[in-house]
Amino acid sequence: MKFKLHRRKFFHLAVGTAVLPTLSRIAAAQLYPTRTVHIVSGYPPGIAPDITARLVAQSLSERLGEQVVVENRLGASSNIAAEVVVRAAPDGYTLLGVTVTNTVNATLYPKLSFDFIRDIEPVVGYFRSPNVIVVNPLFPAKTLGEFVDYAKAHPGKINYASNGPGSMPQITCELFKAMTGIELFHVPYRGSYMPDLLGGQVQVAFNSPVTTMGSIQSGQLRALAVTSTKRLDALPDVPTVAEFVPGYEAYVWHGIGAPKGTPMEIISKLNKEINAVIADPKIIKRFAELGGVPLGGSPAEFRKLIADETDKWGKVIRAAGIKAE
């Protein structure tokens, strides 16, 4: 009997010991955060991924009761920022400003030291924006249909600009080329291509609304279409590409990720609070000014988006033979 009693005590002690890590994780999640949270961005200040990250960080600070700051870690097409977070402690205090570029890089850079899908826990996507197909106003095509006809009549004679191999202006254009059967000549730029686009040295670009809207409104550029499935509120008279090319769809999007192994209680808390942030009418209005809308949803939905986009853009990159510089 004494042996059984000791064994029973041992059993309860063992069970209690096994439960302790779970209880401590739950307690940590309930207290989280107790210090500054860092969102690591692979982009310089002043462009859309940095702007949206700072908007979210500011409101998230207010909701969490601790400071949330954006830390810019530039280089290697945002791969340096991703690696910083992959190597960070999985405690919710170092997060990644995720963008569609991370899904592109998975194929564009085959020798990365990490696997983005495996090593980053999706938290939530919070912003989505299409590109706008713009041409110099002296270009003869006034509609997307006319543009395709002109390109077919002059194969390889139209120059399109991008920020370099694997950039969204390139891969969205390459998808368009594949779906329409046209041939365009790629002109990559290390800096801004806007001066040459405005000057007519290049004729077309698949550009961000935030950097294009002013030139469209002033008549310096002509908008032919947007790459979303619905028209933009800011450009209601500009059709979607899908109205001419059924099935075409391309977006730039931003979100938050965390290191693999971050407790799901923390992931869930961040997801809930960021969804609340982007439901704020002030944030919705600011996103609209950047040419986008809130994304939102669950971590599982963000995981699916990342997987789908990795597959989609991987196929485009391989078919077009795009190589990183």
Domain boundary among 195, 220, 243: 243
Residues 6+ apart with CB under 8 A from 172: 131, 206, 227, 250
Whole-prediction pTM value? Answer: 0.89
For residue 75, give both structure tokens.
């280089």
Are 238 and 144 found together in one domain? Answer: yes
Are 46 and 176 found together in one domain? Answer: no
Residue with tokens 């000057």: 199
> Residue 211: its pLDDT value, please?
83
| CA gap 229, 242 in Å, rounded | 6
CATH code, domain carrying 275? 3.40.190.150
9 domain-assigned = no
DSSP at 87:
T
Number of domains in the chain: 2
177 domain-assigned = yes
325 domain-assigned = no
Are 277 and 140 found together in one domain? Answer: no
Q: How far is CA 51 from the centre of its chain?
A: 13
> Residue 46: its pLDDT value, please?
86
| CA gap 238, 225 in Å, rounded | 5
3 domain-assigned = no
4 domain-assigned = no
53 domain-assigned = yes
Residues 6+ apart with CB under 8 A from 226: 130, 131, 132, 133, 209, 232, 235, 238, 239, 240, 241
For residue 9, give both structure tokens.
């005590």
Q: pLDDT tens digits, the chain, 325 residues: what are they?
A: 444 445 555 555 555 555 555 545 566 667 899 999 999 999 999 888 999 999 999 999 999 999 999 999 999 999 999 999 999 999 999 999 999 999 999 999 999 999 999 999 999 999 999 999 999 999 999 999 999 999 999 999 999 999 999 999 999 999 999 999 999 999 999 888 999 999 999 999 999 888 888 999 999 999 999 999 999 988 999 999 999 999 999 999 999 999 999 999 999 999 999 999 999 999 999 999 888 999 999 999 999 999 999 999 999 999 999 999 7
Are 39 and 79 found together in one domain? Answer: yes
2 domain-assigned = no
Residues 309, 313, 314, 315, CA torsion sign: positive
Domain enclosing residue 151, as ranges: 132-243
Which backbone phi and psi does 134 adopt, to 5 degrees? -125, 145
- Listing DSSP states for 143-184 in one string gives SHHHHHHHHHHSTT-SEEEESSTT-HHHHHHHHHHHHHT---
**Secondary structure of residue 286 in the 3-state scheme:** helix
23 domain-assigned = no
> Residue 172: its pLDDT value, please?
98
